Chain A
C-alpha cells in the first residue's frame, strides 16, 4: 500500500504542471502532447472526463488543493460535510453489523473508513470555518461587485445555517451510545467530534450572526447607492432646487440638532504647585530670546570746516561748439548741416570733420538736456564694392527742431 502511495505521488510530481493547469483553469483539453499523461492521471483517478475532449481534476483532489492552498472555493463544503455525516451514520451501522457477524476483516475496514470520515468532517469543518472567517474579514474581497458579495453572503448564510443544524442533530444523535461497546471508535468520535461540537456550533453561530449583519448592510448599501443616483439625477434635472426650510420646523430632524463647536481656550494655573514641574520643563524648553544690545551713539559736536576753494569747470572748446550748434539747430528754419556749421562757426577747432561728426554723434547718443528737442538726419554713404563690410558711412548730420 505504501508503494502504491509513493507511485501515485511520483506520478503527480511528474505531471505536476498538467495537474496545476487543470486546477487553475478548471479543465484541460486533450492534445497529442498530453494524451499519454492524461491517460496515466486518469488511471490514478486524478483526472476525470469533463467533456469528450476535456478533463478536470477529481473533486477529492480539488478539495485537497483548495484546502492546502487556502483558496476560497468552499462553496460546496457544507453540503459535503453533511453528506459525510450521513455516511458516518451508515458506516457505524455497517461496522456494528460486521462486528455482530464476527467478520473481522470487514470490521477493520469499516473502522478505517469511520476514522477517515471523522477526520474528513473535522478537517472539513475547520476548513469551512477558516475560509469563511477569512471571507468575512475581507468582506468577500474575492468578488468586487456588491451584488456578487450579497450572493456569496446569502450562500454562506444558508450553508452555515445548514451546518449548525447538522451539528445539532449529530450532537443529539445516539451514535456515541451505540458505540459504547467499542471504546476505540467511541473515543475517536468523542475527542475529534463530539467534544468540539459546542465550540464549533458557537463559532458557526457567531459567523451566522455576522453574515446576517453583512446581508443587512449589503442591502442597505445597495439601497443607498440607488438613492444617491436618484438624488444626483434629481439635482441635475432641477438646477434651482432649494430644500424646504426645515430649520424652521418645530419638530427638527435629529441631524439638524447638531451643536457647533465651542471656542475653547485654556491657560496654565501658575499658582498651582502641581503644575510647577511641568511649567519648569516648558520654560526650559523655550530657547533664550535673541537679545540685541543696542549701543548708544555718543553725541556729536559741531566742527568748523574750511570753505572749499572755488573750482572753475573747464568746458572743452569742441563741447562749447557742439552745444552752440544744437542751440542754433533748434532755432533754425531749415535743417543745419553739422559739417557746414563747423566750417562756418568753428574753424578754430583743431579737429577734422570725421572727429567732429563722431563727437556730435556721441553727444546725441547720450541724450542729455541739450539734445532734447533736436531731430537728427543722416547723410549716409554705403559702399557697394565687392568686399563691402556692410558698414554705413555717415557723410554728414542734419539737425533740426522736432515738431
Chain B
C-alpha cells in the first residue's frame, strides 16, 4: 500500500475516500502517515491534508524561487476553477433542492439533475449561463442534456467529480473539492467577501 500511496502522491493526485478509498483509509493510520511524510521529506516535499480532512496531497516542504513559479501556476489554476465551481456547487444545490453544501464523497445523481433542469426553466437558465464562462462550457447544441454533459465533463476533468457508475450516471464529489473550498474560505475571509447576506438573493431557491 505504501508504494501505491507514494506513487499517487508523487504524480500530484489527491487521495480521498472517493477516488482511492483503500489508500485514504491507510493514510488515516498514524504510522502510514508518518512513513509517507518521512519519505516525501527526503525529496523536499511533505504530506498535507485538506482543512476538512477529506483528502491528502503532496506539498512543498520549503519554498524557493523554483517552487514560487509552481505556486503561481497553482494559483492561476485555482482562479480558473473558482467561478465555474462556485456556479456548479450553487447549481447542484438548487437542482437537488438541498440547502447543504456538497461535501467530498457526496453522490450526485445526473438523471435527477437533468430532470430538475427540464422541469424548472430557472435552472435551465442557470445552466445556459455556464456558456458565458468560456468555450470549455459551451455545448455544441442547446439541449439540456448536451449543456449538462458539457458542464459535468469539465467538472470531472477538473478532478472535482468522479464517475462512480457509468450505467446509472452516478457521480461523487472528490476530496479535491475540500481543497477548493479551503481556498474559497480563505479568499472570503481575507478579501471581505462574506459580508453580504445570502438572503439578498432572488427568490429562485425557495421557489424551486
Interface positions of A (Cβ within 8 A of B): 145-147, 220-222, 224-235, 242-247, 252-262, 264
Contact = CB atoms under 8 A, between A and B. Distances in A.
Given A230-B193, A231-B184, A243-B191, 15 more contacts: A145-B99, A221-B100, A224-B181, A228-B86, A233-B200, A242-B79, A243-B82, A253-B183, A257-B48, A257-B59, A258-B57, A258-B179, A259-B60, A259-B70, A260-B74
A230 B183 contact: no
B99 A256 contact: no
B26 interface: no
B124 interface: no
Contacts of A146: 99-100
B12 interface: yes
Contacts of B89: 228, 232
B93 A247 contact: no
B198 interface: yes
A264 B7 CA distance: 9
B167 interface: no
B185 interface: yes
A222 B188 CA distance: 16
Contacts of A243: 75, 79, 82, 187, 191
A270 to B, nearest CB: 21
26 contacts: A224-B103, A224-B185, A225-B93, A227-B101, A229-B93, A230-B193, A230-B194, A232-B86, A233-B198, A235-B87, A243-B79, A243-B191, A247-B68, A247-B75, A252-B71, A255-B78, A256-B74, A257-B71, A258-B58, A258-B60, A260-B70, A260-B74, A261-B58, A262-B11, A264-B7, A264-B10
B101 A224 contact: yes
A231 B183 CA distance: 12
Which are the 7 A-B pairs with shortest beta-carbon distances?
A261-B12, A229-B198, A247-B75, A225-B101, A224-B101, A261-B11, A232-B90
A259 B58 contact: yes
Interface in B111-143: none
A257 B63 contact: yes
Contacts of A147: 99
B48 A254 contact: yes
Interface in B169-208: 179, 181-188, 190-191, 193-194, 196-198, 200-201
Contacts of A253: 183, 186
Given A221-B101, A235-B86, A255 B193 contact: no
Contacts of B186: 246, 253, 255
A326 to B, nearest CB: 55
Interface string B23-52: 000000000000000000000010010111
B45 A261 contact: no
A242 B83 CA distance: 10
With most chain B CB atoms within 10 A of its CB, the pick from A145, A224, A226, A258 is: A258
B72 interface: yes
The secondary-structure label for the interface of chain A is helix
Contacts of B59: 254, 257-259
B13 interface: yes
Interface size class of B (residues with CB under 8 A): 35 or more
Nearest to A245: B75
A227 B76 CA distance: 22
A247 B72 CA distance: 6
Nearest to B52: A220
Nearest to B59: A257
Contacts of B188: 227, 230-231
B48 A227 contact: no
Nearest to B40: A259
A257 B60 contact: yes
A252 B50 CA distance: 15
Nearest to A224: B101
A224 B12 CA distance: 26
A244 B188 CA distance: 11
Nearest to A244: B191
B21 to A, nearest CB: 17
Contacts of A257: 48, 59-60, 63, 71
Contacts of A256: 71, 74-75
Nearest to A242: B79
B177 to A, nearest CB: 11
B52 to A, nearest CB: 8
Interface in B54-110: 57-60, 63, 67-68, 70-76, 78-79, 82-83, 86-87, 89-90, 93, 99-101, 103
Contacts of A222: 99-100
Contacts of A221: 100-101, 103
A233 B82 CA distance: 13
Contacts of B10: 261-262, 264
A228 B99 CA distance: 11
A230 B86 CA distance: 10
A345 B96 CA distance: 92
A145 B99 CA distance: 7
B45 A231 contact: no
A312 B75 CA distance: 86
Contacts of A228: 86, 89-90, 93, 101, 184
A266 B63 CA distance: 27
B122 to A, nearest CB: 14
Contacts of A231: 86, 184, 187-188, 193
Interface string B1-18: 000000100111100000
A126 to B, nearest CB: 30
A145 B93 CA distance: 12
Contacts of A235: 82-83, 86-87
